[in-house]
Structure formats: structure tokens, C-alpha cells
Amino acid sequence: MMSGTKKRIKIVAAFAMLMVALLYLYKTLVTVNEPAVIPSRFGSSVVRIEEQRPWPPTENVDQRNLRINFEMQNSLLQAQRLELQTQQLELQRTKDQLAKLEEQVRSLQASTPRKYLKVKYLNYKNRKRILITGGAGFVGSHLVDDLMIQGHEVIVVDNFFTGRKRNVEHWLGHENFELIHHDIVNPLFIEVDEIYHLASPASPPHYMYNPVKTIKTNTMGTINVLGLAKRVMAKVLIASTSEVYGDPTVHPQPETYWGHVNPIGPRACYDEGKRVSETLSYAYAKQEKVQVRVARIFNTYGPRMHMNDGRVVSNFILQALRNETITVYGNGQQTRSFQYVSDLVDGLISLMASNYSQPVNLGNPQEQTIEEFAKIIKRLVGGHSKLQQTKAMEDDPQRRKPDITRAKNWLNWEPKVPLETGLQQTIAYFRNELMRSDRYQESSNKYFESPDLQRSLGRQLLDTTGGA
Ligand SMILES: NC(=O)c1ccc[n+]([C@@H]2O[C@H](COP(=O)([O-])OP(=O)(O)OC[C@H]3O[C@@H](n4cnc5c(N)ncnc54)[C@H](O)[C@@H]3O)[C@@H](O)[C@H]2O)c1
């Protein structure tokens, strides 16, 4: 009996010891399983989360780890929020400083008087408000100069397709001058006394680039200009072209010649566009009593003409300045006559002032073969370029020479600037532009080759490729 009781006591004691051992083991395991640490925001040290664990445990190991993870993420988020707020504050401070600096620059600009060419003072009665569409282009910008110097108020409207702000920048800020970025295919509502409508690409590569737009500019654009002239009773001068004569069968070309134009050739968008432009002008004159003037402009050259417009003057001068081969399309026996831009501008202003409403040729009747012309340019530029003939252009007119009897009789106008004088001015301009673009190229090369930029580009490359 006694030995049975002892045996039971021993079994209970052994069971109790086993339970204690199991509990100890469980506690040890829980402590080993939990890496309750979070990385510090300011460095690589870690912070251990000290936890008061209730006893006996109310959650299992997974639940506990999840909760601790959640708390870690939460504190990280708080830290990031704080950092973001600090950065936002810094950004605001920088913006305020920038605004202050901009204000200082503006007031400095306002207090520094700009130097303009001297303009004549005209009283209210004689001063006109003159709109020039395409006024930032080659011809337009020279017209702006003359009208500004005469003392008129000039408004330029341009979409900068081929024109440049640089052509008129010397007038920006002048009280008599305004520059409006506008496409003349859309209507325009302003009050003016006179309109010179020059907006249209003028060289083959430019007008062939988007033939539909060229036709729109010369039809819808002209309708908008004539509509404006009708509404405000302004006099309007349309810049037409010798291209309305096409490849002429009459030589030289008088205004009475109706022309020889291929209506579906590559040049038709421009030639026919200008012919419609003339037709529209006389329709508005007849039906709406708009006072119109039509100038048929022949080849014109001078400073500010486009360097890369693919036309004879610019091609030859650039090739000669770069000592490249001077390329002559066809056999070089086709003729052209070139007028200097200041002569054209005089003619346009005289035509506007006149009472003559029929088309008037404005061009230089001094005729040259293209080959002769290339030789003159080669001589004036110097260098060692050679002449070479290449394939003739499609629909390239063979002869071009204006009959300027009308301009002489009605406007008392004829070109004054000799070819060589005009060419020297133009060559000087092109030389300057080339040096300018070389300088620009050089400075951008310097920039791209600078060690600082290379370093920062290298850094960016490492960032994007994730390299070390
Ligand atoms: N330069 C010549 O030898 C010559 C010969 C005959 C006729 N013309 C005529 O004289 C005018 C001026 O010629 P340019 O040599 O000064 O050409 P250009 O290309 O230098 O100037 C034309 C101007 O019109 C602007 N323009 C074009 N489309 C426009 C649009 N839809 N809306 C507003 N602006 C627009 C251009 O941005 C540019 O400033 C043109 O109408 C051209 O047809 C010129």
C-alpha cells in the first residue's frame, strides 16, 4: 500500500517537473524568434523596440510579429512625413527668394533705358497705325525699320514659321512697336489705318514643306486681311510675286501678261495661292470698296534673308564662304534679276502712298545668267570654290526680268542699289551669321565637354543604371 502511494507521488512530481521544463522551453523559443528592431533615420545604427509582454501571452508568435512590423512601418512613415514637411518649407523659402530676385531683375530692366534707332516725331494727324503681317520675316523686318523710323506705330503679326523675333528685337519695348504672335489663317480684330500683307512662306523649300498650309495662308489669310481692311476701312497692300507669271513666254514681263503657270506642279501651292490672293483683292475692291494695292515682287536679297532657304543668292554665298563647290542648277544659262531689299521697301511704301490700284512690278531689270551671278559672288567672297553644274529643278523658270515701266511712271520708282554693293552687304551679313553660329557651336561644345557636366552626366548614368 505504502509503495503504491510513493509511486503516485513520484509520477505527479515528474509530471510537474516536465510542465516547468516545457514552459521554460516555450519562453526561450519566443525570445529567440523576434528581431524587434527598426533602422534609425539618421544613420546605420538600429533601435530595438523594448516590449512589455503580458503573461500569460495573449497573442501567438505570428500575430505579435505582425503587430511589431506594423508599428515599425508606422514610425517610419511618421519620420518621412516630418522630412517632407521640412523640405516643403525649404522649397517655399527658395520660391520666395526667386520671386524677389525676378522682381529685382524686372525693375533693373525697367530702369535701364534701351537704345533704339532714332525715330521721327509725327503728330497725331500724320502718324498712322500700320499692320505688317509677316513682319518678322526678311522683307517685313526691313519694312518695319523704315516705317518705325518715319515715326509711325507699327504692329507686326507673325506666326514665326519662317520669321524670327531676332529680326525685330531691336524694336521690342519701343512705345510705337508691337509684336503679336498670330497665324493669319485665323481672323484678327484690331484697329489700323494701313495693312501690308506679307505673311506667306516665300522660298521653294519653305512653301513646298506644307503646300496645303501655303494655300491656306494665301487664300484664307488674305480673306482675313481683306475682311479686316473692310471693317476698319484700312488701305491694304498685298505682297504678290513674279511667280504669278510662271515660266513666262513674254520677256521682259509687263503687268499685263497673264502668266504661264502649271496649276498642278510643285510650285503651284505658292504661284496659284498668290494668283488667288490677287483675285481676292480685286473682288474686295470692286464689291466692298476696299482700297487695295498689289505689288508683284521679283527676286530680292539682302541681310536677314534666310541662310538655308535653298535660293540662288543664299546658296552661292554660303558655298563660297565655306569654300565649297558652287552648284549651278541646269546649264546656268537661265536668267534672274535681283533687287536689293532697301529698293523693294522704298517701292512698297511708294505704292501704298500712291493712288494707283493695278498690280505693279517691283524688281531690278538688270538681268544676269545664273552662271554669271555665281562668278560675281565667287569673286566678291574670295576663296577657292569651284563652279559645278547639277540637275535642273522641275518647273524652274528659264527667264525672269521685270518690266518696271509702271513703277517708273506711277511711283517714280526704280532700283538704286548696284548689285555689287548689295551683295557686299549681304555677304557681310552671312559671314557674321556663320561666325555667330560657329561661336554658338563652340560654346555648346565647351559646355558639353566641361568636366563638371561630364561628372554630373556620369553620376546620372550611374543612378539610372544602378551602378556602383
Ligand atoms: N523675298 C523675295 O524674293 C520675294 C519675292 C516675291 C514675293 N515675296 C513675297 O514677300 C513676302 C515676304 O517674303 P520674305 O522673303 O520676307 O519671306 P519670309 O519667309 O522671310 O517672311 C514671311 C513671313 O511670314 C510669316 N508667316 C508665314 N505664314 C504665316 C501665317 N500663316 N501667319 C502669320 N505669319 C506667317 C513668316 O513667319 C515670316 O515671318 C511674302 O509674301 C512673299 O511671297 C518675296
Q: Ligand 1: which of 297, 337, 348 to mutate, most ligand atoms within 8 Å of CB?
A: 297
pLDDT on residue 13:
80
What is the rounded distance in angstroms from the CA atom of residue 273 to the CA atom of residue 184?
A: 14
Whether ligand 1 lies within 6 angstroms of the CB of 132 is answered as: no
Ligand 1 centroid–CA 197 distance in Å is: 9
Q: How far apart, in Å, are the Cα atoms of 457 and each of 367, 446, 468?
A: 57, 15, 15
| Furthest CA-CA distance within the chain | 156
As annotated, the residues of the chain forming the CATH 3.40.50.720 domain(s) are: 129-446
Q: Which residues contact 457 (CB under 8 A, 6 or more apart)?
A: none
pLDDT on residue 303:
97
How many Cα atoms occupy the beta-carbon half-sphere of 259 within 13 Å?
Answer: 16
pLDDT on residue 51:
53
Ligand 1 centroid–CA 193 distance in Å is: 21
Residue among 270, 284, 301, 340 flagged as catalytic: 270
pLDDT on residue 451:
61
pLDDT on residue 42:
44
Q: How many beta carbons lie within 10 A of that of residue 73, not counting itself?
A: 11
pLDDT on residue 44:
43
Ligand 1 centroid–CA 267 distance in Å is: 15
* Domain over 129-446 is classified CATH 3.40.50.720: yes
pLDDT on residue 52:
60
Q: Which three cell numbers stand for residue 339?
A: 533687287
Residue 119 backbone phi and psi in degrees, to 5: -110, 145
pLDDT on residue 39:
47
pLDDT on residue 28:
59
* 245 catalytic residue (yes or no): no
DSSP state of 389: E
Exposure b/e, 164-199, CB count within 10 A at least 16 = b: eeebbebbeebebbbbeebbbbeebebebebbbbbb
pLDDT on residue 161:
96
**Residue pLDDT tens, the chain, 468 long:** 445 777 788 887 888 888 877 887 776 555 545 544 444 444 444 444 445 666 667 778 888 889 899 999 999 999 999 999 999 999 999 999 999 999 888 888 777 767 899 999 999 999 999 999 999 999 999 999 999 999 999 999 999 999 999 999 999 999 999 999 999 999 999 999 999 999 999 998 999 999 999 999 999 999 999 999 999 999 999 999 999 999 889 989 999 999 999 999 999 999 999 999 999 999 999 999 999 999 999 999 999 999 888 888 999 999 999 999 999 988 888 888 999 999 999 999 999 999 999 999 999 999 989 999 999 999 999 988 999 988 877 667 777 899 999 999 999 999 999 999 999 999 999 999 999 887 766 666 665 566 665 665 555 544 443 333
Angle of the 370-381 helix axis to the 312-321 helix axis, nearest 10: 40
Position 458: which residue type?
Answer: G
Ligand 1 centroid–CA 201 distance in Å is: 4
What is the rounded distance in angstroms from the CA atom of residue 465 to the CA atom of residue 460?
A: 8
Whether ligand 1 lies within 6 angstroms of the CB of 273 is answered as: no
Closest residue (by CA) to atom 17 of ligand 1? 202
- Please provide the DSSP assignment of 60-82 as one string: -HHHHHHHHHHHHHHHHHHHHHH
